[in-house]
Structure 1
């Protein structure tokens, strides 16, 4: 009758390897622990917690006495009796290994004999160690990367309520925003390169195919660019509103004196190369001064309360577009478009 059962032997091996990280089974091999870092398996969608991996080396077989001493103390037997009990199980394990090609030891792993070499596959549970208490492997459920944004709107019982909500929640804030925008942007300044990049992103030249329908949009964008270029520390006082007239005046402007030439709207419209649109004379003067610095004389068109600065007038769109392209090639920081008046 064996003094030490196989279960008790394996349990003692567990105790020593957890305590010392290393244990030798005489004439069988050595178990030792190797720390493993946390890792993520993207294919299996599993997060593996940190722990220890139990490894086996069949070449280390020399008895160091640690396992036999532990068994003799634990089961109240002599050192030689403990060695004899270990040897008995080693003979049994070797017989199974060479007869069946493998032997499985509970709580340790599977030993497989391949070409006279013992291969070990561990079934060690890593989370039995105190320093990794509470850390477990985590498997994520399948998920989709598709993301959608959904908007919900209140259901109104009567159409008159819908009209009131739209006016209150949409039109009023929009009107306030548009009213405050000009006073806000005058406090900022961009250098020439930055303003050029803004204009390039806007790509005003894409709108030349239909200038009349989008003239208001282009004027707004141009005003935004010029307002950013200004370095006004004080708010420019609002000038008196200009009455909308059906007449359009064209003239050369220097400083504040404008020699105006009045043109009555007629069936024969001309094509103007517009490079700026402003709300007051100070902005026009500053812009004309910047054009003067590059040896360009601008024309000023006054219509419907807007002041547009043009390079010149042409009889057809082809000539006007050619002049605009040539101007933008020489002066890439400026934007422009063709307008038919």
Structure 2
């Protein structure tokens, strides 16, 4: 039985895998590192350790073998014990045991198991796909040190010609600032003058328009007789509601639809849910409102309902 294969599988998921009566393989997370001499970058990983003192059977390895090989737990435990007996015998004879992708085991001078881990596999799943990377060495230029060495040999001096050059630059800067400020002032004056002229022209245009309106007269030779319209304003606290709409445009369409059917439909405003309400009609008398509600439910809308509310 390739016991190391099962141990390797479990090391991806667990930090401790115990081999009963032999020892435990432990994993410890290690951060990414950089080798100073080779400039090699190593990703984070799980460092493997071995502790010979932990030998109690926790059932993890046996259960995993039983599930993979489809055998009873007791049979898996017996196979582990047989493999452990072979490993101990080989170690006693001075052999070095190689567990693939895990490491090497051997006995030291004190008859204790010495473990040398393998670095072929990274058991840290968070670092999956990350590999070792070697960076070329970074060379730093020492211009500053070279300049300091030159200054010691050839000191820097300021000649009168350089002083005059700085004066010229100073006067040129002052002239540039003066021109900029003057341009801003004149520009603001020009904009203000344009705005004033626009206001005067607007006032003259308004005056001419008012004069033309006052001079215009309208004469109607055959005036139409006055028409008297009797408009009845709906009132009352009893309202037969046709529906409530989130979009006011849909509310207006519903009002037009009901008016086309002969109802005195209208909008009564939005409710506390910001829905625009449409009513068939409003009544001051409760009994009249109930009779109309029954008629509306039978002829037009079975979901119509009565709202009792005082409108502003």
TM (normalized to structure 1)? 0.42
TM-score, normalised to structure 2, is: 0.46
Larger Rg over CA atoms: 2
